[in-house]
Structure 1
Amino acid sequence: MADVKVDEAVEKKTFAQAVNDAFKELGETFVAFVKAPKALWGINVPYIIEGLVYFGILTILGKFCSENVALTDPQAGWVYSFVTGGITFAMLILGGVSDKLGVRVSLILAFSVMFIGRALVGLSGTIPLGSGLGSPMFFVMFGGLFLMVLGYGLYQPASYAGVKRYTNPKTAAMGYAVIYGLMNLGAFFSGFISPLVRHRFESVFPPNGLPAVFWVYALLTLLSLLITALILTKKTDQKAVEQIARETAEMSEPVEETEEESKTVTTKQKINNLPFTIYSLITLALLLLVIMIRNEKIHFNLILASVLLAGSFLLSIWEYLRHRPDHPFRDLRFVAFIFMLIPVQTLFAHNWLTIPYYLDRAFHGSVVSQYFELFSNINPILIFVLAPVVAGLTASRNIYKMMIYGTLVMAVPTFLLSLGPNVIFFLSYILIMSIGEAMWQPRFLQWIAEIAPEGKTGAYMGIGQLPWFLTKVLTGLYSGYFVEKYIPRPETGLPEQSGKLWFIYGLIAISSTVLLWLTKGWMMKGMKEKAK
């Protein structure tokens, strides 16, 4: 085989055919939503609301931290890292809990915890508790966000478990497509609700009305809780499960034996994890030491402590992997591939880490600034419409080439913003960037599946999400510094230099394209070896 290509039998579509098929798919999605079993409505309806609330909070959290809690922009970025990274980590920890509690109980518990957490965030801006890092206001807000992180970590796995529980093998794909689309729709709607509430209650909740928005989001979470409890009853759940069981049994296609089931069960060699545990604890201690040095709590050589931290971290990884020869991280092509995408993935994180600040401050005094939430959430509705269109147009294209072209199209428009604040440039950036996202993001997991060894696809898929976790955490650690330096609050009188910020971000993002292109031969060679 001279090259690895997608099946040539796949029909190449014209633009008109792709658009027609895309809107047909959107129509089928809507019909599937309406005709879904009652139990699935208990998943889908709250999912729209939660999409609105979750992305709505991400859009205004930075402004709330900076203006209400009086944190610095870098400190606000750290809060973002905790929330977004913490949710991913919580999903890993609490995913199994939803299996033990069941879908209904897990969702009710998750919404209850998130309601309390979001109410605490609203309360922190409602009563006088002081301001600044270390103030009672900060700790009340942080406690609320912590509860929200825990609740969401339980909610997301339970929702997907619910889709699996209430769909049969033929309707499962549509079920997951619907729930993904609903999240994007909810995110788009938040752009309308937040500015209306904020402007209406600005005098009641000075200086900006944001506490009122958090209270509205808390009440919407309570609404989701009530909808879940009323629709997803034990009777409804049992009825849906019985219906799905009948439909599955009536299907003529025999259930194929999975790779895991077909393989002989082998006894795993017992691994001594004590050295890894010791190295990990040392790494954690050194991390705390570096943090305390940076905050001038301890006087010690920062460079030496950082070198020791890096060495201990690498030693921990080596100790873990050397006993696990089949671990995905032993596959250098796989590791290189997923980490090369981190730079372009930072643009996803900047949708909430930077863009709300940029629109609010760089366009200060304009309609864009007054309704920054709406302009910040254009991307979700574009992805909702563009994803099926782009998928239809590019279905027969080489996967790896689409990764290169898609990341390029996503990264290049960032340089439009380097020309200075301009609403046309911004809207063009969002449109072109969204097209690029639709080109490569769906191919990401497809490529991982292609390069994964037989029987290891699940493990590769799971590990493939790690860079996204790191992206959310790491981007939040530096974004606040860039915002403070290049997009300062207008009242400070400091010059606005957003063009420099976006030029730097553009260089970071496009490095993914360069790396994918430079390693193309090596990556494709691995695919050829697998195909033989």
Structure 2
Amino acid sequence: MSPLDSKRAGLWARFAVLKGAARELWIVFVAKVLAILAYAVMNSTLVLWLSAGYSTLSVVDIRDLAALAQRLKRPAAEDRLSSYLASELTPATRDRLAAYQSGADPHLRKLLVQDLNRLIRGPNLYAPDRFTGVSLSGRTQALLDQPRLTPAQVAHFNRLLLEDAYPSALARPSPAGLAFSDAAAGSLIATWSTVMTLCTVLVGSLVDAIGLRKAFLLGFTVCLLSRGVMTFTTVRWLALGLGLFPLAVGEALLTPVMVAAVHRYSNTAQRSISFSIFYAMMNVGFAVAGLVFDAVRRGLGEYGGWEVAGLGLALGTYQTLFGVSFLLSLPGLLLMYFGLREGVEATDEGLKITPQTPNYTDQPLWRALCWTVADTFRETVRIFTGLWRQPAFYKFLAFLTLVVGVRLIFYHMNYTYPKFGIRELGEGAPIGSLWSLNQVLIIALVPLVGALTQKVSAYRMVTAGSAVAAAAVFLMALPPQWFAPLADGEPGRLLGRALELKGTVHPYYMSILLFIVVLSVGEAFYSPRLYEYSAAIAPKGQEASYMAMSLLPFFVAKFIAGMFSGWLLAWYCPETGPRDSPKLWLVIALTASITPVGLVLLRPYIRVQEPGRTD
């Protein structure tokens, strides 16, 4: 056998340890894809949904297309507003409008909405002579009388002007979202994310107490119901109180239980490669989610929508994305209900099944239920309080406090990057597809890196990987014009073709591409090993508790970073006005650099010995 063949055989042998693995391990891999797919579609949409409001038009707001088209095709001499709007339409819209005769034309609706929204967000729609003879509503007149308007107020004012000028053609505004400002949306996301992290910290011991199967079923059920509420309402108190914040509890239940399940359903030989595959499956979900996110926005338009046949219900683009997330939650629930066995554990001696014996079988149902809940509460408290009596646990928390810096990169990719991308690159920019490259690279790199580095400690891998990931963010802090030669050359043409871009390729596409590639390499080294480290040093039966408590430092950091995300956007990348986005990314890069520097300097004091590791 040649040396190359020997290496290939050795690499395959590292994957072959999964042969004969418990079926529950494979079910967890599939469930992770479904859970992450639903979560990522919702998460990418969340910040846009919170900020989208009444100012923009959606396709369902054009209730009489024929009347609007008639006025724009052949404006009367005295109709100066229609003449102005017609002159500002794009060539594609003009051509479609010229060919229009009557009836429904979804493509024309979409083109008109895109053009009118562009004018709504601009400063030049209102001129006194254009609105001569138009009866302005009280709300419109109140804004007109103000000496100065913010950009958000200008957009709202312009929307009201169009509603007053075309009362029969345009419906009253249907909200695309909850209409919060950037800063308010950032604070809400920070609060929601912090609540989710706090719930995760608190439910870890509950998961250990009630068992994996019950925790899976409870988590998927709460997520399903919460996403249903967010899909079908834009009433703030309903969407937040019965949708967004209960969703934090559902997501919190699924976070520690997934990691604990991989640990429980794999033996010592399978563990490293199992966590690598688990992380790769997570990124399969993220990759597909990015494509779904872009496909729905491209199909409906950034501020589009559609009417649900037979229900008389109109869903905006962002609500439709929540609906996709809702539907994706159902298969995970069914898979866990029918496929997961209670009491399964993979050991080095083989598979063990310890069925759970019901307690209080001689008692009435209501009393047995109450006593079982009380027992679960006592066991949860016992496990939770026991954590704080373990010296290694404090070193573990110090380690994870440092890791927060680099983990916040991905927090910003969820909540800062979407607005940054749309504002710098334009509506409909394929920012989700571009970010999906990260997941594609991770899917390819993580199993390979995991197989080749099984003997390297998690601490060392996290240190090296976080250094590479932090360095990647500095690429985004460079002036975008530095990447213009790449954007104008063959790399830009290839990327433009892959993303189906029209016209010249913005230099930011190239800087984002390079950033994602370098970040993915660093992530492949450190991120899967974080999960392994949390599970490896945990005492038996407390894996979910350790995984949950590993998020305690993230609890405080996410709240601060969430509000800071809104401030960074308002300061350096506002919706209108001058932007200085490199400074936004410089702040994120400096924050991420805390991780590798701290791990190197504090290694003698915070490292916990991992079972089976000597380095």
Same fold (TM over 0.5): yes
Residue number in structure 2 paired with 1:301:
none
Residue number in structure 2 paired with 1:299:
none
Residue number in structure 2 paired with 1:226:
334
Please give the alpha-carbon distance, in whole angstroms, between the structure 2 residues aligned to 1:99 and 1:358. Answer: 40
**Is 1:110 the equivalent of 2:209?**
no
Distance 1:201-1:473 versus aligned 2 partners, 3 A rule: same
Give the alignment of 1:192-341 within 5 angstroms: 192-202=291-301, 203-204=304-305, 209-229=317-337, 231-232=338-339, 237=341, 241=344, 247-248=350-351, 327-328=391-392, 337-341=399-403
Task: Name stretches of at least 5 consecutive residues in structure 1 with no aligned partner.
Answer: 1-13, 126-135, 251-319
Q: 1:185, 1:380 within 8 Å by CA — same for their partners in 2?
A: yes
Give the alignment of 1:12-411 within 5 angstroms: 37=23, 42-67=27-52, 68-99=177-208, 101-125=210-234, 136-160=235-259, 162-163=261-262, 175-202=274-301, 203-204=304-305, 209-229=317-337, 231-232=338-339, 237=341, 241=344, 247-248=350-351, 327-328=391-392, 337-365=399-427, 369-391=428-450, 403-411=462-470
Task: Name stretches of at least 5 consecutive residues in structure 2 with no aligned partner.
Answer: 53-176, 307-313, 354-384, 481-506
Residue number in structure 1 paired with 2:566:
480
Q: CA RMSD in A?
A: 4.6
Structure 1 residue 370: Cα displacement? 2.8
Deviations 1:478-526 (A, max 9, x none): 111101221222xx3x112111111222222223334445556777999
Q: 1:199, 1:209 within 8 Å by CA — same for their partners in 2?
A: no
The code of the aligned residue for 1:140 comes to: A
Structure 1 residue 17: Cα displacement? 9.2
TM-score, length basis structure 2: 0.57
Distance 1:143-1:82 versus aligned 2 partners, 3 A rule: farther
| Alignment equivalent of 1:424, drawn from 499, 510, 519 | 510
Structure 1 residue 355: Cα displacement? 1.6
Structure 1 residue 213: Cα displacement? 0.9
Deviations 1:395-416 (A, max 9, x none): 6778766555433321122122
Q: 2:265, 2:345 within 8 Å by CA — same for their partners in 1?
A: no
Please give the alpha-carbon distance, in whole angstroms, between the structure 1 residues aligned to 2:547 and 2:332. Answer: 30
Structure 1 residue 188: Cα displacement? 0.9
Deviations 1:48-106 (A, max 9, x none): 21110111211111111111211122222223223333333223333344455554444
TM-score, length basis structure 1: 0.65
Distance 1:184-1:106 versus aligned 2 partners, 3 A rule: same
Distance 1:335-1:71 versus aligned 2 partners, 3 A rule: same
Q: Whose Rg is larger?
A: 2
Please give the alpha-carbon distance, in whole angstroms, between the structure 1 residues aligned to 2:609 and 2:262. Answer: 35
Please give the alpha-carbon distance, in whole angstroms, between the structure 2 residues aligned to 1:412 and 1:105. Answer: 42
The code of the aligned residue for 1:466 comes to: L
Structure 1 residue 326: Cα displacement? 5.5
Q: 2:38, 2:325 within 8 Å by CA — same for their partners in 1?
A: yes
Please give the alpha-carbon distance, in whole angstroms, between the structure 2 residues aligned to 1:169 and 1:97. Answer: 25
Q: 2:475, 2:515 within 8 Å by CA — same for their partners in 1?
A: yes
Q: 2:401, 2:554 within 8 Å by CA — same for their partners in 1?
A: no
Structure 1 residue 112: Cα displacement? 2.2
Please give the alpha-carbon distance, in whole angstroms, between the structure 1 residues aligned to 2:26 and 2:232. Answer: 31
Q: 1:18, 1:389 within 8 Å by CA — same for their partners in 2?
A: no
Please give the alpha-carbon distance, in whole angstroms, between the structure 2 residues aligned to 1:341 and 1:403. Answer: 8
How many residue pairs match? The answer is 418
Deviations 1:155-180 (A, max 9, x none): 34444555566556665665554433
Percent identity, please.
26
Please give the alpha-carbon distance, in whole angstroms, between the structure 2 residues aligned to 1:487 and 1:99. Answer: 44
Residue number in structure 2 paired with 1:314:
none
Q: In structure 2, the residue corresponding to 1:341 is in which secondary structure?
A: helix
Please give the alpha-carbon distance, in whole angstroms, between the structure 2 residues aligned to 1:337 and 1:15. Answer: 39
